[in-house]
Amino acid sequence: MSGLFPGWARSGTSGIVHAGTDSGVLSGNSIALQIGESHFATGGRSGHAVTVNGTLPAPLLRLREGETVSIAVTNRLKEQSSIHWHGLLVPFQMDGVPGVSFPGIDPGETFVYEFPLTHAGTFWYHSHSGMQEAEGLFGPIVIDPAGADPIACDREHVLVLSDWSPIHPHEQMRRLKMMGGYFNRQRQTLSGLLAGKDQSLADRLAWGAMRMDATDISDVTGSTYSFLVNGHGNTENWTGLFAPGEKVRLRVINASSMTNFNFRIPGLPLTVVAADGNPVQPVETDEVQIAIAETYDFIVQPGTAESYGVIAEAIDRSGLVRATLAQRPGLVGETPKLRERPVLTMRDMGMDMDGMDMGEDSGHSMSMRDPSVAPSVKMGPGVATLSPMPVDRLGDRPTGLESVDHRVLTYADLRSRNPNPDTRVPSRQIDVHLTAAMERYMWSMDGEAMSENPTPISFRLGERVRVNLINDTMMPHPIHIHGHFFELVSGEPGSRARKHTVNVLPGGKASFDLTADGEGDWAFHCHMLLHMHAGMMRVVTVRKEREA
């Protein structure tokens, strides 16, 4: 299938360079993209794919800060399509979300996106129509700084992580509607109980009474997914070359539709230098959970070893993909064994009782569906649980990495390299609840699905607002806002990390401060594609005057 890979994504690459010397890299002020149908196969699985210019992943767009780009996108499909420029600050009419910011691109039609490039970094693009993103319509974007790049390196590779299934995502949705745990092949068993594994009998009975599954980590799993790096599975072994002692920059993008990945290179520390395209103060770690839609830039300095395994392991440990950093083509990095899958705890229910007074007069509810803890939520069959005591989890190790014996990045470790551009204290705050009836596979925000046409979340142009994301479900949700960066409320103000996507851990909350500086209508949603498609999405409107 090498013909389906763009040049930058082929195994054995010496690294990404500018257009003209490496096929599959497009740059300049005028670019043409064609969306079409293809066939894709990996790991013994094959199926229909939606591709850009005939490749999966799509071409790498390498652009320059300060310039204006015109991108003509032609749709050769038999259905409507679109491209969203994920993480780029563009005029809302160019943001590429059908029904929110533009009409979409009809079959046979061409839409010309034109926008200035106002910031540098690692970003990506994908379809915002139907389920095309899951079928292969995604690709990387690298925007070089207008001046010298402050992140020095000798070589750089782009690694696009993805999940691939021959089962069409609409069919995945149908099966999950029939049974919420359809793809979960790692449930607790009687033999496990007898062997003293996982939850105790009392906990299993308690969770069963609440109709909750402590192993429900991912909706769609390695039972149907092949996990890929640059379109390559383990057998295809994507390989990026290095020379010993070099500083190698890895631009890692999680473009999967439903999989959060735990990323590590055993034997090689990772120095985080950028998150969601924005430079951060360097922090060294050993493993990073990269949520869907997030990007991280790492500097690694390989030693004299001939090869290193680059590991992206699914959050539920139902599979992994191993790529290789090597001194020459043909080497294969070591593939570790899958680690034990996580088991959720009371903290993931929003019931962390450590150090809390749980007496009758404490004011804490022990109910998992007490409307008084979330007065803004519209109660109905789509809201099965409400987090009774959600706590800030930005400093927590992410799901499944709580007890590993090496360093793990948390959001609290991230500090912006540059001072925050807006130092104002927010003038107001709002709560946004992430709600679901997981067993019925119903997903929403504040108890309302997007299909119910909920009232948009309204901001005044230029106002500073604190948004509290409260996860009332037992699954992490990567929440993405279009057209803006926000500052995570972690650590002292001044250099808080600026991101466009934050993974909200189960039962907890994550707060960010937003300056509403992008006038227009913007999508705000969970980036788990099936969750968004089922309804976990809202429209954010930014206007000079708040609309009545």
- HEC sequence for 136-189: CCEEEEEEECCCCCCCCCCEEEEEEEEEECCCCHHHHHHHHHHCCCCCCCCCCC
pLDDT at 45: 83
Q: Please give the pLDDT value at position 233.
A: 94
- For residue 502, pLDDT beyond 60: yes
- DSSP string over 13-75: B-----TTSSTTEE-SSEEEEEEEEEEEEETTEEEEEEEETTBSSPPEEEEETT-EEEEEEEE
pLDDT higher at 196 or 246: 246
Structure tokens at 457: 């979340």
| Alpha carbons 314 and 263: distance in angstroms, whole number | 9
Residue 383 to residues 166, 367, 368, 472, 511, Cα–Cα distance (Å): 31, 13, 10, 9, 22
Which comes out higher in pLDDT, residue 54 or 18? 54
pLDDT tens column, 76-101 = 999 999 999 999 999 999 999 999 98
CA–CA gap between residue 84 and residue 71 (Å, rounded): 12
Mean pLDDT for the stretch of residues 256-276: 97
Q: Quick one: how far is CA 525 from the chain centroid?
A: 11
Average pLDDT rounded to a whole number, residues 275-293:
98
Residue 425 in this model has a pLDDT that exceeds 70 = yes
pLDDT over threshold 60, residue 356: no
pLDDT tier at 214, thresholds 50, 70, 90: low
pLDDT average, residue stretch 13-18: 82
From 88, 180, 198, select the one nearest 481 (Cα to Cα): 88
SS3 of 396-414: the string is: CCCCCCCCCCCCECCHHHC
Would you say residue 152 has pLDDT above 50? yes
- Confidence band, pLDDT 50/70/90 cuts, at residue 359: very low
CA-based Rg of the chain, rounded to a whole angstrom?
Answer: 22
Peptide bond into 57 cis (omega under 30): yes
Give me the pLDDT at residue 160, please: 98
Residue 361 pLDDT > 50: no
Q: What is the mean pLDDT of residues 261-283?
A: 97
Indicate the pLDDT class of residue 400, thresholds 50, 70 and 90: confident
Domain ranges in the chain?
7-150, 411-543
State what percent of residues in the chain have pLDDT above 90.
Answer: 70
Q: Among 138-152, 172-186, 355-369, name the one with the lowest average pLDDT.
A: 355-369
pLDDT band, residue 179 (cuts 50/70/90): low
Instruction: Please name which of 525, 439, 456, 483 lies closest in space to residue 133, comparing C-alpha atoms.
Output: 525
* pTM, two decimal places: 0.91
| Furthest C-alpha separation in the chain | 71
Q: Is the per-residue pLDDT at 339 higher than 60? A: yes
Between CA 20 and CA 23 the distance in angstroms is 7
Phi–psi pair at 76, nearest 5 degrees: -100, 10
The domain made up of 7-150 is a member of CATH 3.10.20.90? no
pLDDT interval class at 235 (50, 70, 90): very high
422 pLDDT more than 90: yes
**Is it the case that residue 192 has pLDDT exceeding 70?**
no
- Mean model confidence pLDDT for the chain: 88
Residue 345 pLDDT level (bands cut at 50, 70, 90): low
H or E segment at 290?
strand 288-290
Q: Do the domains 7-150 and 411-543 sit in the same CATH topology, yes or no?
A: yes
d(CA 375, CA 365): 14
- CATH class of the domain comprising 411-543: mainly beta
Query: What mean pLDDT comes out for the span 320-334?
Result: 95
